[in-house]
Copies of this chain bind each other. A is one copy, B any other.
Amino acid sequence: MKILLIVGDGMADRPLKELGGLTPLEAAKPMSMDRLATSGISGFMNALSLGVAPGSDVANLAILGYDPHRVYTGRGGFEAVGAGIELRDDDLAFRCNFATIDSAFNVLDPRAGRIGDEARELTEALGDIRLKSAPNIQVIFKHTLGFRGVLVLRGEGLSEKIELKAPEAGLKIDDIRPTDDSEGAKLTAEILREFVKETYRILRDHPINRRRRGRGLPPANAIIPWGVGRRPHLKSFRELYGLRGACVAAVSLIKGICRLADMTVIEVRGATGDVDTDTLAKAEAAIEALEKHDLVFLHVEGPDEASHDGDLEGKLTIIRKIDAMIGKIMSHISLDEACIALMADHTTSLRLRRHTADPTPISIAYAEALRDDVQHYSEREALRGGLGRIKGIEVMPMLMNIIGRAEKFGL
């Protein structure tokens, strides 16, 4: 038996007034998700402890069975590896956003109107960046997907003791500060401030941005690094579980986690990491990957992005697209041959526009499941599911047991 593990990033939510007290999952009426739930057993999951709101990095690590408290070295490391950079142990890595800032270096739009392919061309304009504050530090920037990129600083004397939250409107670049008194932290903060300003100098009048302004779109006139990290070290998936694992994901974070776990990372044409992603292409990729692998981790980023934007229509749309993806998968895969587990990594509240610690629904369909009374894949029904409350780190051991490969203790 094989495992298909499907994660809708930030897909769970709270009841919304504009939906008459329903959650987006309830309002979207996802028929295939409901079929998955009625074909299996459901429950509710907190990726971490009760009351702790997880980032996508630690939540997905936990779901794959890696204890974030042991392996997490900051987000940037996973992002850089996911972007295909050969990260060294001394490197500092950062997730980056193409953003819109003003001339006083305040962030106006942290995603530059969710700029798409144009960001690739803007990246070419950057050329080799050299910084006055640190001429010996190598600056590696790589565009990944949409408004996203990765920055790696390579050289001596750098420090991760920097306060760098995910950018939001109002962030002041001059507020990038060290969190300790070390020379390394001061230098690194100075480098980061100069990096943003240098990208602003190069990008602000780039023809693409002039064109965007002409069309009333926010220019992608700067690149903002955040989520500092070092190179993580993960035990390989095969060593941990004895499984050949593959990953179907758009965003670098998930690709990075899976590459570090030595899983096969499958590139899918049309996977954008946003609401406009091609979920049917991802379904096809996952079905195909399952032929040569024991486990496929299928991750869809879109619901989280819509939630952070407060975009209700977008969230409903991507949930329905994920539903279509699951429908396609279930018509191709027999529950005798594979178990299909569906979950969100965390709840992203559309109203609050951020991750919360609310538990997320999880349903696991397989032929031998003790089917419970749950009729819908939703936050509410999950609460009365047969699995009860579980933790992220318990997902993989449960799935291993379902396929008859549980860890043993005693004789």
A28 interface residue per 8 A CB criterion = no
| Contact assessment for B50 and A357 in the assembled complex, using a CB-CB cutoff below 8 Å | no
Q: Given contacts A53-B407, A57-B411, A58-B409, could you give 10 more A-B pairs where the C-beta distance is less than 8 Å?
A: A14-B370, A49-B394, A51-B398, A52-B409, A55-B410, A354-B404, A356-B401, A357-B401, A370-B380, A371-B380
**CB under 8 Å from chain B, chain A span 353-411:** 354-358, 368-373, 379-380, 383-384, 386-390, 394, 396-398, 400-401, 404, 406-411
In the bound complex, CA of A366 to CA of B71 (Å): 36
9 A-B pairs with least C-beta separation: A51-B397, A55-B410, A58-B410, A383-B386, A357-B401, A53-B406, A357-B406, A55-B411, A50-B394
With A226-B411, A410-B56 known as contacts, the answer to whether A388 contacts B389 (CB < 8 A) is yes
From B387, B389, B396, give the contact of A51 (CB < 8 A): B396
**Closest Cβ neighbor of A60 among chain B residues:** B410
With A386-B384, A389-B388, A401-B358 known as contacts, the answer to whether A409 contacts B48 (CB < 8 A) is yes
**Closest Cβ neighbor of A65 among chain B residues:** B51
Show the binding face of A for B, using Cβ within 8 Å: 14-15, 23, 41, 44, 48-59, 68, 72, 75, 95, 165-166, 226-227, 349, 351-352, 354-358, 368-373, 379-380, 383-384, 386-390, 394, 396-398, 400-401, 404, 406-411
A72: chain B residues at CB < 8 Å are 410
Chain B's nearest CB lies how many Å from the CB of A131? 24
| Contact assessment for A406 and B52 in the assembled complex, using a CB-CB cutoff below 8 Å | yes
In the bound complex, CA of A95 to CA of B165 (Å): 49
| Contact assessment for A383 and B370 in the assembled complex, using a CB-CB cutoff below 8 Å | yes
- 6 residue pairs from A and B, CB less than 8 Å apart: A52-B407, A53-B401, A59-B410, A351-B368, A370-B379, A372-B383
A379: chain B residues at CB < 8 Å are 370
With A398-B50, A401-B357, A401-B358 known as contacts, the answer to whether A55 contacts B352 (CB < 8 A) is no
Chain B's nearest CB lies how many Å from the CB of A30? 17
| Contact assessment for A368 and B15 in the assembled complex, using a CB-CB cutoff below 8 Å | yes
A55: chain B residues at CB < 8 Å are 408-411
In the bound complex, CA of A401 to CA of B347 (Å): 11
Chain B's nearest CB lies how many Å from the CB of A139? 22
A23: chain B residues at CB < 8 Å are 370
* A75, A371, A388 pick with most chain B CB within 10 angstroms: A388
In the bound complex, CA of A68 to CA of B410 (Å): 9
| Contact assessment for B51 and A411 in the assembled complex, using a CB-CB cutoff below 8 Å | no
**Closest Cβ neighbor of A404 among chain B residues:** B352
A387: chain B residues at CB < 8 Å are 383
| Contact assessment for A411 and B52 in the assembled complex, using a CB-CB cutoff below 8 Å | no
From B166, B349, B411, give the contact of A166 (CB < 8 A): B411
**Closest Cβ neighbor of A41 among chain B residues:** B383
From B54, B369, B410, give the contact of A409 (CB < 8 A): B54
A51: chain B residues at CB < 8 Å are 394, 396-398, 400-401, 406-407
Chain B's nearest CB lies how many Å from the CB of A151? 15
